[in-house]
Amino acid sequence: MLKNLISTQLSTKELAYQPGGMPATFEVAVVNQSEQFAAFQLEIQAAGIESSDPAHWYVVSPDVSTKNPPGDRTQFTVQIIDNPKPGFVGLMNLTVRIFSLELRQEERQILRLILQPGNSLVPLKLNLPIHEFREKPETLLELPVEVENPGYTTSEVVVRCTGLPVNWLPEGSEQRFQIRSQGRVKTNFLCHIPSLSETPSQTYDFVITASRPNEPAIQVLGSIFVLPMGHIEVDCPTNRLHMPTRYGLPNWRVNQAVYPIHFINHSNLSRHIELIVAPEEPQPRCQLQVVPEQVNLLLNQTAQQDVIVTKRRHWLGLPKTCSFEAKARVADEQIDVQGDTQLLRLILHPVLPLWVQGLITLAFLVLLWWLSWLNPDNPWWGHQDAVKSVQFNGIGDRAISGANDKKVLGWQTAGFENFLINQELGKIAEVDKAVRVVRYRPVNNDAIAIGLENGEIQLWSLLPSYRQLQTLVNQPDDRVFDLVFTLDSRTLFSGHGSGLVVQWELGSNLATTQPTIQRQKQVGFAVNAVKLVGGNDRYLAIAGRFNQLVIWDLQEDKIRSVSHGGGGEASYILSLAVPTNHPDLLASADNQGTIKIWNLRSCLTSDVDCELVNEWQPDKTIHSLAFTADGCYLASGGQDGRTMLWELDADGKPHNQTMKGIEIARSPSSVNAVDVIRQKDDILVINGGDNAQVELYRKRNASLDCR
């Protein structure tokens, strides 16, 4: 059997109390019969009363006892200060509940409370069965009210409804009743909601009060929400206009048309109205303005917004029709908007009539030619300063160029031979410094590397759009003279004016992988050109000042010189070229106008000197060299403005024994860059120079047995 851990004793079993008189007091003694410390609490429940709220009719002291040791005693004092059930007279059982959270046990005692008639008034009880109403205008409704008198005597009660307009209560806002003791009265106030033109849609709060003499009034709150009703009408009296209204002679001053839009409010809502005007597509572009931008449409009011269409009319051509959709937008969709969409039409007449247009057609065509890419002096097409680098893509249908005007442009080769095709594909990049070199990424030709005057290397994507991917900087202001990718495009070598050659690790994804410097080599002279030789991307040829030409073994990280003759401070090797299919052949060109071709097959793998297989001097200064992939043709461009094509055999020796080149083009200014590619039996040569022009030439029916 569970041991009783709590012992309680009431000071009395019966207690009398008169509401309004002195409090009735009794005491409760609690003894801790457990073997641990415990705190005790006390609460009282009145028979027939269910409430979750704290009791207001008694006071306990203390609220919670301190933790008492085993065998200790706690004394609670309880005062009855009000009637547990207002208005009740007679015997009521009270349950005194003592409990302890530590002991998880409780004890209950019954106390009989004799409630005597009080000497004070018992407050009225007021109830509003429905607190919120949602009604339409012109509705007749009843506001139900319940009043209860819990007191001991009959009372005269006044019930009032306040807060609503007087005209809403046709039978008045006050009612009087005689309510007997313990009685209840149900009544209502008749409410008539006026028409929508007099009643805005909103919430109307009201107060129901009940009072009797010499006693404060009690009240309950209610509300009536008047539902939105009606509609807004939209109208445009003139929805078709001409600009100008009179036409025939030249008239360039009229450039506006105004459409008035009327809004009429037939609802019980005041609303902000916004007019959204959108042109239909396709059509001439016009400037649209709505004045004012918004209107506040009040009840029973009319407002107007003007749609102002501004258009600089075309000088030539036939009349054009512009259509606009004007849509009225209300802040919410509680009410209907009739005619919310208006179709506006504008007839645009040209400034010049047709007979005047015929006179200026010829002049216009001349002007159009001058503004097109067909005009070589057009300042809006091509480069505006010396071109420093050009290169074909892998199949020769496109090319890129970089120049001192800080631009990199794309070209399509078909446009150089067909005037109906614009040869310029557009500006790929515009950078902060002059461009020294541009190179396609070998894999897919979907990106390019740009070397700049200030030492930066920028990587740009060509697909799906032109955008910069990365910026590489080793030493600021260390001019980049040449760039070369490995065949897998994962590595990029750059040659700099300081004598540094930097190997950049790019990774497979240029957009997400941050390039890093894998290693760098100081060769001791300004580097003008770098090329990978020997196949397998193992050897890098480096050339530059003092006519120095060296080979960097990337696998063993060793540098060896190639015998190229001496040179002073003003002597430079300016360009190197290697045919893709014969990586052991290397051509070099210097500022003394000498072109040399080397066979590196033996000297790359042993310590023997590299074989010089060909040497000639066609010009004072050769700026650029380029091989076809099979090595049968070598293109050159130099200071004298000539672009030359040299025929070679498979070993790089002269095809005709006389080393007489083919002059492809001659320019009055220096040629700074060339590239060459073979398309079946045709040879394409592209060049760029100090004249800021990029030009393409085709040599047809080229056929050699050097392959």
* 387-431: pLDDT as tens digits: 999 999 999 999 999 999 999 999 999 988 888 888 888 899 999
What the block records as the tokens of 574 is: 């300016």
Q: pTM for the full model?
A: 0.52
What the block records as the tokens of 156 is: 């005269």
3-state secondary structure of 371: helix
CA 149, 155, 161: angle at the middle one, nearest 5? 75
3-state secondary structure of 415: helix
Who's near 220: CB < 8 A, 6+ residues apart?
126, 127, 128, 131, 207, 208
Mean pLDDT score, 683-688: 96
The top-scoring range by mean pLDDT among 46-50, 321-325, 334-338, 649-653 is: 321-325
What pLDDT score was predicted for residue 255? 86
What is the widest separation between alpha-carbon atoms in the chain? 142
What pLDDT score was predicted for residue 657? 64
What pLDDT score was predicted for residue 595? 93
The secondary element (H helix, E strand) that includes residue 131 is: none
pLDDT digits (tens, 9 = 90+) for 561-579: 986 656 778 899 999 999 9
Q: How far is CA 670 from CA 377, 623, 684, 687, 692, in A?
A: 18, 9, 20, 10, 10
Contact 26, 111 (CB under 8 A): yes
Contact 159, 187 (CB under 8 A): yes
What the block records as the tokens of 475 is: 């030493």
Nearest to 303 by CA among 344, 334, 275: 275
The Cα 530–Cα 545 span in angstroms is 13
How many Cβ atoms from other residues are within 10 Å of residue 4's Cβ?
A: 10
What pLDDT score was predicted for residue 543? 95
> Percent of the chain, pLDDT > 70?
95
Q: Classify domain 6-115 at the CATH superfamily level.
A: Immunoglobulins (2.60.40.10)
What pLDDT score was predicted for residue 565? 59
How many Cβ atoms from other residues are within 10 Å of residue 105's Cβ?
A: 17
CATH code, residues 234-348: 2.60.40.2310
Residue 376 reports pLDDT greater than 70:
no
The secondary element (H helix, E strand) that includes residue 577 is: strand 573-577
Band of pLDDT at residue 705, cut at 50, 70 and 90 = low
What the block records as the tokens of 6 is: 């709590």
Contact 320, 283 (CB under 8 A): yes
The Cα 215–Cα 223 span in angstroms is 26
Mean pLDDT score, 41-59: 81
pLDDT digits (tens, 9 = 90+) for 251-298: 778 888 899 999 998 888 888 888 889 888 888 788 888 898 888 888
Residue 133 reports pLDDT greater than 80:
yes
Band of pLDDT at residue 54, cut at 50, 70 and 90 = low
Domain ranges of the chain: 6-115, 125-226, 234-348
Task: Let me know if the fold of 125-226 is the same as that of 234-348.
Answer: yes
Who's near 280: CB < 8 A, 6+ residues apart?
322, 323, 324, 325
Least confident of 136-145, 234-243, 353-362, 689-698: 353-362
Label residue 643 left, alpha or beta by phi (over 0 means left) and psi (-120 to 50 means alpha).
beta
Q: Where are the beta strands (DSSP E) in 237-293?
A: 240-243, 256-267, 271-279, 287-291
Q: What order of strands is seen across the sheet that includes strand 595-599?
A: 573-577, 585-590, 595-599, 611-616
Q: Which residues of 285-324 are buried (b: 16+ CB within 10 A; e: fewer)?
A: ebebebeeeebebebeeebebebebebebeeeeeeeebeb
- Under CATH, to which class is 125-226 assigned? mainly beta
Residue 222 reports pLDDT greater than 90:
yes
